[in-house]
């Protein structure tokens, strides 16, 4: 799928984000797809999935329905049952829906399930109609950490996570390791908002970090990022965005002041991944029963190198990051991943950069 197609559909997407809750349906020819997300309007993870499947609707005539669970446990089964009783393909992200999918997938053998950004526990069995996509986010976050450590003037940088789970840990692990590559003595303030929606909490965390000398923050926390960005803009400090090229999204919505404070983003190619999956559905080339893992080498993750990045980041640093990226792709550098580390190993990495 061409990247430009996503940009052209952002205007359509903005109309969607003006609404919240409930169900949105777009009628095409085939196939019937239900997308289960937390909510629209985060300008990142959820919205990139919506955009990707809207492009699929345009190209393949997909019947697309978007179901939102608002990160509320009481809604997980409700939206799942609505999806399986009307759609032959169900797409969902992992962190909230994993247990529900593992519990019920075998009950609906004629429904094909795609879980992105995580995987089921295959050892439980009964998951032959499930396909998972996992992103090696730590690889792109490594480059972001190197960038943050290269541009900070205080040797103090920040990371804001949403909730305490493997996906967020993976961002943080890569970020820490990349920062240490540039400066072994870097101090990193690592905080979790324990939410993907609490914008005020994002503001509180960001202001606390700034008060302690942090001058750049990587925020991987859903809508919480909006609070972090608000505080950074007021203090004229940069943010590293997440999941999609947030600079481009904010520019597309006319929010230039916010956009120009996003120096880059650690992206997961969610929209393209889902588009490709639906294309496979359309051509009846459906893959299930396995996990696909994609990183920098497979263009599954990236550091956004848009015009703002190129005009803002010193050329020497850009060249260093490009070289590191090639070393990761070639396997010369192997970035640790929270998906293969124990909790003790993850905590040891975090403690190695604890502010003094």
Higher pLDDT, 250 or 71: 250
* Segment among 11-25, 62-76, 212-226, 295-309 with least mean pLDDT: 11-25
Out of 68-77, 118-127, 150-159, least confident range: 68-77
SS3 assignment for the chain: CCHHHHHHCHHHHHHHHCCCCCEEEECCCCCEEEEEECCCCCCCHHHHHHHHHHHHHHHHCCEEEEEECCCCHHHHHHHHHHHHCCCCEEEEEHHHHHHHHHHHHHHCCCCEEEEECCCCCHHHCCCCCEEEEEECHHHHHHHHHHHHHHHCCCCEEEEEECCCCHHHHHHHHHHHHHHHHHCCCCEEEEEECCCCCCHHHHHHHHHHHHHCCCCCEEEECCCHHHHHHHHHHHCCCCEEEEECCHHHHHHHCCCHHHHCCEEEEEEECHHHHHHHHHHHHHCCCCCCCEEEEECCCCCCEEECCCHHHHHHCCHHHHHHHHHHHHHHHHCCCCCCCCCCCCHHHHHHHHHCCCCC
pLDDT > 90: percent of the chain: 59
Give the model's pLDDT for residue 56: 61
pLDDT of residue 354: 95
Res. 39: pLDDT tops 70? no
In this prediction, residues 335-342 reach a mean pLDDT of 96
* pLDDT top residue among 62 and 245: 245
User: Domains, the chain, ranges and CATH?
Assistant: 3-135+270-294 (3.40.50.2300), 137-268+314-351 (3.40.50.2300)
pLDDT of 48: 63
């Amino acid at each position: 799928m061409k990247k430009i197609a996503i940009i052209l559909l952002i205007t359509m997407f903005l109309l969607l984000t003006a609404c919240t809750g409930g169900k949105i349906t777009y009628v095409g020819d085939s196939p019937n797809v239900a997308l289960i997300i937390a909510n629209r309007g985060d300008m990142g993870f959820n919205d990139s999935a919506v955009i990707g499947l809207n492009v699929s609707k345009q190209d393949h005539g997909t019947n697309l329905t978007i179901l939102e669970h608002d990160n509320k446990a009481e809604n997980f089964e409700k939206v799942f049952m609505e999806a399986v009783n009307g759609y032959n393909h169900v797409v969902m992200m992992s962190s909230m829906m994993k247990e529900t999918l593992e519990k019920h997938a075998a009950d609906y053998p004629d429904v094909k399930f795609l879980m992105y950004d995580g995987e089921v526990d295959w050892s439980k069995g009964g998951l032959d109609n499930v396909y998972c996509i996992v992103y090696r986010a730590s690889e792109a976050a490594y480059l972001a950490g190197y960038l943050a450590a290269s541009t900070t003037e205080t040797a103090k940088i920040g990371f804001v996570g949403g909730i305490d789970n493997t996906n967020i840990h993976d961002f943080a692990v890569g970020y820490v390791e990349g920062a240490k590559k540039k400066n072994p003595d870097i101090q990193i303030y690592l905080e979790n908002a324990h939410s993907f929606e609490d914008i005020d909490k994002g503001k509180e965390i960001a202001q606390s970090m700034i008060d302690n000398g942090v001058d750049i923050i990587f925020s991987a926390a859903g809508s919480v990022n909006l609070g972090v960005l608000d505080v950074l803009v007021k203090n004229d400090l940069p943010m590293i965005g997440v999941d999609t090229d947030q600079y481009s999204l904010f520019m597309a919505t006319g929010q230039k002041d916010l956009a120009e404070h996003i120096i880059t983003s650690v992206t997961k190619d969610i929209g393209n991944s889902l588009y490709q999956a639906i294309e496979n559905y359309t051509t009846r080339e459906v893959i299930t029963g396995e996990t696909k893992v994609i990183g920098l080498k497979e263009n599954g993750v990236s550091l956004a190198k848009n015009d703002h990045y190129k005009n803002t980041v010193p050329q020497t640093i850009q060249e260093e990051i490009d070289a590191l990226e090639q070393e990761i792709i070639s396997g010369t550098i192997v970035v640790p991943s929270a998906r293969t580390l124990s909790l003790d190993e993850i905590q040891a990495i975090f403690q190695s950069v604890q502010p003094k």
